[in-house]
Amino acid sequence: MNDTPYGKIIADGLWYNNAALVQLLGLCPLLAISGTVVNALGLGLATTLTLIASNVSVSFIRNWVRPEIRIPIYVLIIASVVTAIELAMNAYFHELYLVLGIFIPLIVTNCAIIGRAEAFASKHTIPKAFVDGLIMGIGFTLVLVALGGMREVIGQGTLFDQAHLMFGEAARGLTVTLIEDYRGFLLAILPPGAFIGLGLLLAIKNLVDDQLEKRATRRAEALREAQA
């Protein structure tokens, strides 16, 4: 059995092996639902919940499932979890559920979830699978929210528009209008905006990685010189 330390699980999930930015999994909901921050947050949280539940269940039964039939079992587990979450959202966040529409049931096809079940949860203990699901979900949600924020600000000049869908009527005041009298930039809200935005986020991530690597090599060289 692999034994991954918690620190590595967290660093991987948030950055080095981020579901959206590195594995490039789950792009369909990522691109379709990132029009506003609230939509992005809703879908991100639903995905996170699914990841946690499916990771824990898969990890729980990992010693009893024969490898030949593991994939159908994972699919069954994920489908049941998603159905439960869909019903719950329909009950408690009905308006948000209507906005997100088909993308809630489609979480079941999000490759990131079966990917984590296969690559991580089936080989690790329950607590680690739980943490991995949580962190992977948060990493995915963060990218989703970043993209949603980008598209919402550029596209309609607001942030947290329609926050009441998620946090109740009291949250209507959360909506921030950053640019008064903004004419809107439709391209950012339309699908091309999602692709361009994701491309830019990927570029930023690679840029940061490059800088980190350069700094690390420089530090290593300095250390070697100091030792010599």
Partner 1 sequence: MRFKTFSSPHMAPARSVNRVMGQVLLALIPGTAAMTWYFGWGVLINVSLAVTVALACEALMLLMRGRTLTPHITDLSAVLAGWLFALAVPPLTPWWVTLVGVGFAMVMAKHLYGGLGYNPFNPAMVGYVVVLISFPREMTLWLSPSVIAELNLSLPQTFTAIFAGTLPDGLTWDTITAATPLDRIQTGVGQAHPISEIQASPFFGYLGGVGWEWIGLWFLVGGLWLLKRGVIGWQIPAAMLGTLTLLSGLFWLINPETYASPLFHVFSGAAILGAFFIATDPVSASTTPRGRLIFGAGVGALVFVIRTWGSYAEGVAFAVLLMNMMVPLIDHYTQPRVFGKTTAGKEG
Q: Which residues bind partner 1 (CB under 8 A)?
A: 183-188, 190, 192, 196
DSSP 5: -
Q: Give min distance, CB of 210 to partner 1, in A.
A: 14
Element (H, E) at 119: helix 111-119
CB 116 within 8 A of CB 132: yes
HSE, side-chain direction, 13 A CA sphere, residue 7 = 0
Q: Give min distance, CB of 189 to partner 1, in A.
A: 9
Q: Give min distance, CB of 195 to partner 1, in A.
A: 11
Q: Give min distance, CB of 130 to partner 1, in A.
A: 40
Nearer Cβ to partner 1, position 168 or 192?
Answer: 192
Nearer Cβ to partner 1, position 139 or 193?
Answer: 193
Nearer Cβ to partner 1, position 180 or 225?
Answer: 180
Q: Give min distance, CB of 14 to partner 1, in A.
A: 27
Per-residue tokens: 65: 């499932």
Give the Å distances, CA to CA, from 207 to 200, 211, 212, 214: 10, 6, 9, 11
DSSP 200: H
Nearer Cβ to partner 1, position 167 or 185?
Answer: 185
Q: What is the 3-state secondary structure (H, E, C) of 11-79?
A: HHHHHHCCCCCCCCCCHHHHHHCCCCHHHHHHHHHHHHHHHHHHHHHHHHCCCCCCHHHHHHHHHHHHH
Nearer Cβ to partner 1, position 173 or 192?
Answer: 192
In sequence order, which residues have a C-beta less than 8 Å from that of residue 78 and are 6 or more positions away?
50, 54, 108, 113, 114, 117
Which of 227, 1, 29, 8 lies closest to 132 in space, CA to CA?
Answer: 8
Nearer Cβ to partner 1, position 101 or 192?
Answer: 192
Q: Give min distance, CB of 150 to partner 1, in A.
A: 14
